[in-house]
Amino acid sequence: MRILVTGGAGFLGSHLCERLLAQGHEVICLDNLFTGRKANVIHMMDDHNFEFVRHDVVDGFKAEVDQIYNLACPASPVHYQFNPIKTVKTSVMGAINVLGLAKRVKARVLQASTSEVYGDPSVHPQTESYWGNVNTIGIRSCYDEGKRVAETLFFDYHRQHAIEIRVIRIFNTYGPRMHPKDGRVVSNFIVQALKGDPITIYGEGQQTRSFCYRDDLIEGMIRLMNNDQDFTGPCNIGNPGEFTIRELAEKVIELTGSSSKLVFEPLPSDDPKQRKPDITLAREKLGWEPTVALEEGLKKTIAYFDDLLKSGDTGYADPERTED
């Protein structure tokens, strides 16, 4: 098949492109390089089945494809709050553009949604039937509500135009090629620990998260796209293992052998207190569940960041403000 991956030069997008190429597909990687990076895909450039296109999903585009994975959107608070209007436009107008393309070429299209659609949940663990507890006007709303509207658009196109859709709700994912400055706890803690800097914990560190290794996530995403049960989702894909932020910090210090100390800062606005996926649907519909334990995944991620820091070439400048 010929497959379009928007956000294909990002952390998850680049790994997805690799997997699709390995399966023998033609892959078009579309990315505006706001948080994505050419270095993530440069090793695929010589493959005649791979094409890189620098383009913003906010603007319309055409391609003749069989499937579309829509991963385009900054996914970390540092980046999606950098230009919140642009973040909303990426989620909403990007969804409209990929759905319009899917309608024209009759392609199946997958939306990379997020556990953030649940907001600060009052139901734990979170099931797909839970509608969420989201602040519509907070500093995280550009991302949370943008993704919620994208889901709405996907299901409206499905009902009105019979577009084949799949919606995946991604829970915290980590692994090599994470952006060192993305502000997420795994990359933050690892980089701070490797440098021997204090490890910053917000609040008392008792808020919980579930951490899914990138290979498990990509496997779940591909299974959802290709399931033959007409299962649209939404479907949670994440690791149900639940850890406090303080436990994660202590594990990173242990695995890096760091002398870093913990420092505590005020909790940011609207920061969820709990996050844990119920993956019953993924087990039943996709035969999927995570296989990589947190310690194993952290070791691989630490090795990646260690090599990056030792090379002296982090290659990750702070993003430049784009036009709204």
The pair of structure tokens assigned to 4 is 């379009």
| Catalytic choice (69, 80, 118, 143) | 143
Distance CA 265, CA 263 (A): 7
Q: Can you point out the beta strands (E) in the chain?
A: 2-6, 26-31, 50-54, 67-70, 108-114, 165-170, 173-174, 199-202, 208-209, 212-213, 235-237, 243-244, 262-265
Which amino acid is located at 43 in the chain? H
- Residue pair 109/225 in contact by the 8 Å Cβ criterion: no
Distance CA 275, CA 280 (A): 16
Distance CA 233, CA 169 (A): 9
Instruction: Kindly state the DSSP code that residue 270 receives in the 8-state scheme.
Output: T
List Cβ neighbours of 311 (8 Å cut-off, separation of 6 or more). Answer: none
Instruction: Decide if 143 is catalytic.
Output: yes
CB atoms within 10 A of CB 264: 14
Q: Which residues of 186-199 are buried (b: 16+ CB within 10 A; e: fewer)?
A: bbbbbbbbbeeeeb
List Cβ neighbours of 202 (8 Å cut-off, separation of 6 or more). Answer: 245, 264, 265, 266, 267, 268, 271
Distance CA 30, CA 54 (A): 6
DSSP-assigned states of every residue in 271-317: --S---B--HHIIIII-------HHHHHHHHHHHHHHHHHHT----P
Pairing of strands 262-265, 199-202: parallel
Catalytic residues: 143
